[in-house]
Amino acid sequence: MPTESDTHYDPSLGNKFIFVTGGVMSGLGKGITAASTGRLLKNAGFDVTAVKIDPYLNVDAGTMNPYQHGEVYVLEDGGEVDLDLGNYERFLDIDMTSDHNITTGKTYQHVIEKERAGDYLGKTVQIIPHITDDIKRRIREAAEGTDVCIIEVGGTVGDIEGMPYLEALRQFAHEEPEENVLFTHVTLVPYSKNGEQKTKPTQHSVKEVRSIGLQPDIIVGRCEDRLEPKTKEKIALFCDIPTEAVFSNPDVEDVYHVPLMVEEEGLDQYVLEHFGLADEALPEGERANGWREIVTTEKDEEVDIALVGKYDLEDAYMSIHESLKHAGFELGADVDVHWVSADEMADGHDGQLEDVDGVIVPGGFGMRGSEGKIEAVRYARENDVPFLGLCLGFQMAVVEYARHVLGLEDAHSAEMVEDTPHPVIDILPEQYEVEDMGGTMRLGEHTTVIEPETLAYDLYEDTSCTERHRHRYEVNPEYFDQFEDEPLTFSGTAGNRMEILEHEDHPFFLGTQFHPEYTSRPGQPSPPFVGLVEAVLEQADENETDEAETDTDTETEVTH
């Protein structure tokens, strides 16, 4: 909690809880709205954490296809969770754990295990009170030790799978002092054909919320533009809240500008006053403004990075996109990411990579797209294009080098081709007996030892780094000797495991078995991503210098 010198916060006031629900449609941006609220409260000096409720029956997000739910985000303790927790970590600059993600599968599994163990002997186990009690317990435990906990309920109000959670929130509000709980409802405010902002969807959504026994304290309207005064007044009238409790969340150029937008609307001040914390907060002139400075940095340069993957969906690579933004903030560069289908790369790049400044080959699983990723690695290596390989991208860089430099024909990963004659990538020894697919990979934070006087050392400025992992396969130790004394070297290790590779005779060629994108934050960009963008900018400067010298030489020849 904030110390007295920070905010004069009185711990006896207890935890404050903000519950965020969504209406009308999914994908409105509840998570960004919640994270932005948290960012502003943190700027005011409070310790803020978050909980994401996912009403699906999966225990976690680990077995989900990215097309279903976007990327699987990995926490430091190895939790495989919804991508919204990545937004919370980036916006709040905190490290979360699996306890901050509540799923129906996790809750029901726990209650059923207790029933089987006899903890409920003599009782009929039911949704109420056993499931709802477990939900409330998880929220309180996640909030422990912080001032404000923001709880986002996934899905849309009215979804049958979300009903137990809304009932749990109703009970929660009944159990807590009124000044400790705030309900925020995020809805869609569309335009009619004649350009009028329509409030009827919001009215119906709030009616649904109220039928469950919940009354929103704040309504946030998602719209292309700010809500007009008359729109706010109408929402307030029909939804029974003060007009000053209706806020706009219009479309912005970058999600990192949302905190700035809702701050202008006064959302943070309204929340503080509701909680009775306005006098506990730092004065407005003393609040942290580093976020604004970072996300509004002037961009003097522009770079184009190809992301060679198998999922044509930005959410599938959310953390990579964000990490490139963070590197851009640091270096004053606007990074444009170009999707390149790995499936279409298998027979050659066909010009898809000729106009980009750098190449990223991301993680993934399965055979589809693997040959295209190998071709992308080869193009970047042979043409001195700055390259970053992540997890599977690291492994495919090893395969590409084994095939085309070491001469190991048909080398591959045993994940893709079980009977490959040269399994330069093989399954982790501890995975041999694993049968369950969920939560059984090498997950979470692990430390990598970095060799001095290497590119990796220059990037991390240390002889070790701690990054998050998510993989079942690794570089096969039987092939270590064949990579010795080669331009492609392993500069980072974890015991007998190869963690980082780099190419000595290349402007920038780096691969990591881990996922550095999961720990990148605005103001604290991931070193490999900064290195990639910096290498691109340096290469552009060198090319401009060479062109200028060529032009000068040509002018001299003409003069003579």
Which residues are catalytic, by number?
A: 391, 515, 517
* Ligand-binding site membership of 235 (annotated): no
CA-based nearest residue to 380, from 506, 217, 249, 243: 506
Q: How far is CA 289 from the centre of its chain?
A: 22
* Ligand-binding site membership of 395 (annotated): yes
| Residues 6 or more apart whose Cβ sits within 8 Å of residue 55 | 103, 104, 153, 154, 155, 159, 161, 162, 165
Helix (H, G, I), strand (E, B) or coil at 474: strand
DSSP string across 185-204: EEEE--B-TTSPBP-HHHHH
Helix (H, G, I), strand (E, B) or coil at 128: helix
Give 252's Cβ-side CA count (13 Å radius).
19
* Ligand-binding site membership of 531 (annotated): no
* Ligand-binding site membership of 488 (annotated): no
* Ligand-binding site membership of 393 (annotated): yes
* Ligand-binding site membership of 534 (annotated): no
* Ligand-binding site membership of 389 (annotated): no
* Ligand-binding site membership of 520 (annotated): no
* Ligand-binding site membership of 490 (annotated): no
* Ligand-binding site membership of 32 (annotated): yes
What is the distance between the alpha carbons of residues 105 and 445, in angstroms, rounded to a whole number? 24
* Ligand-binding site membership of 336 (annotated): no
* Ligand-binding site membership of 229 (annotated): no
DSSP string across 487-541: SEEEEEEETTEEEEEEETTSSSEEEESSBGGGG-BTTB--HHHHHHHHHHHHHHH
* Ligand-binding site membership of 207 (annotated): no
What is the distance between the alpha carbons of residues 144 and 201, in angstroms, rounded to a whole number? 36
Name beta bridge partners: 149. Answer: 17, 49
* Ligand-binding site membership of 27 (annotated): yes
Q: How far is CA 475 from the centre of its chain?
A: 27
* Ligand-binding site membership of 394 (annotated): yes
**Residues of each annotated binding site for ATP:** 27-32, 84, 252
Positions at the binding site for UTP: 26, 198-203, 234
Binding site for CTP, residues? 26, 159-161, 198-203, 234
**Residues tagged in the binding site annotation for Mg(2+):** 84, 152
Q: Which residues are annotated as a binding site?
A: 26-32, 67, 84, 152, 159-161, 198-203, 234, 252, 364, 392-395, 415, 472
Binding residues for L-glutamine: 67, 364, 392-395, 415, 472
